[in-house]
Each structure stands twice: as C-alpha cells, then as structure tokens.
Amino acid sequence: MTDSSAALGRERAAVADACRRLGAEGLLIGTAGNVSVRVEEQVAITATGAVLAELTADQVTVVDLDGKIMAGTLEPTSELDLHLGVYRRYGTGAVVHTHAPMATALSLVLDELPCIHYQLLALGGTVRVAPYATFGTPELARSVLAALEGRSAALMANHGAVTHAPTLDKAVEHALLLEWACGVYQHAAALGSPRVLDEQQQLAVIEAAIARNYGTTHPVPPAQEEER
C-alpha cells in the first residue's frame, strides 16, 4: 500500500467518523447532508443515499478534483459539484453540508445571520444566505460559492448549511458553532430584536483575540508556578 492510498484510507474513515458525530449531535438525519475532506489532489466524500449517522468507511468514495471516481464502489453525493467548487475556489481542506434544524429554519426567513456573538467571527462574522436553487445543480453550487466569499460558513435558503475549514475536525466544529449561533438567534428573536455587534466591536474582539492568543491553552509562567 502506498503512502497516498494509506492516507486516503485514513481520511475515508475520518469522514465516516465525522458523519457519525454530526448525526449524534443532531445535525444530520437520514441520508440528508454530505461531508468531504481533501488529500492533495483527491477528495474523500460521502456516497449518495448513505445513512450518514451510521456511515462506514466503505461508504466514502474517492474522486479527483474533476469528479472522476478513483476509489470506492458507490456513487458520490449529488452535491459533488458544490464540494469540488469550494476546494477549487477557496483551497480549503474539508467541507461539511448539513440540514441542521436551526440553520435550516433560519434559512427560511433570513437574508443573513447577523454577528450576534463574537464567536461568529470564527466563521467570518455575518453568515450570508445563498439564494434557493435545486439540490445538486450548478446553480446551487454557484450561489453557495458566492455566499462563502470571505466566510467559512453559509446558510442555504430552504435547504441547510455549509461550512469549510483547513481540517475536517475544524469544519465539523464550524458546523456545530453555526447551529449553536442559529439557536441563540432564534431564542433571542422570540424575546425581542437581537442586538448585533457593530464593526468597531467586532474589530475590538479580533484585536483582543490576537493579543491573548484566544482559543489556546496557556501554561502558568514559571514565576507564578514557583509561588504555589
């Protein structure tokens, strides 16, 4: 087995693991949704018609960046063009598409999800809603690619959500974060008009995060450690 085929085998298993996690978190139901990860010039992607919460590695197909099947016995997802388009345009490492309940609900009524919490800055801030188009069509792929400009997430009108990231784990985390933010917005909107972080507030958060290396653990300085 070559290093490349071994890597693809690991990534096929990782895609299956990610789908089962997303299913356990309630973001995937039945066969609705799709997940992929890129390994150099090839992509491991879920097969069409597979039950994602129970996915196994042999239900993950490998294609090249033109969509040609390189490994696997099942046809890839109908959203293959969308995934490949994201890889070509944004050079990302993994793509997650779900029909998550809160994200899908907000896609029915919003033109964009505003930046209501600073954690949304991890996705680029305001999350756009791509106009509706039939699933699996070039029109849908084009509208979602446009909505992802400068963002790591987009909602898909009357459909669901898509996230991408350099790694599969991070793309999954983005999907979970987006669903959480959609739920927060829904709960807030039921009580009144949600406050939105303005541009200056968002910039202040970015500056604070950079200064504090936000999101990573920090060891206690030696001097403080000695005082214990």
Q: What is the largest CA-CA distance in the chain?
A: 64
The residues assigned a catalytic role are 79
Residues in the chain: 228
Kindly report the number of other CB atoms within 10 A of residue 87's CB atom.
19
Considering only CA atoms, give the Rg of the chain.
Answer: 19
Handedness of CA 121, 122, 124, 128 (dihedral sign): negative
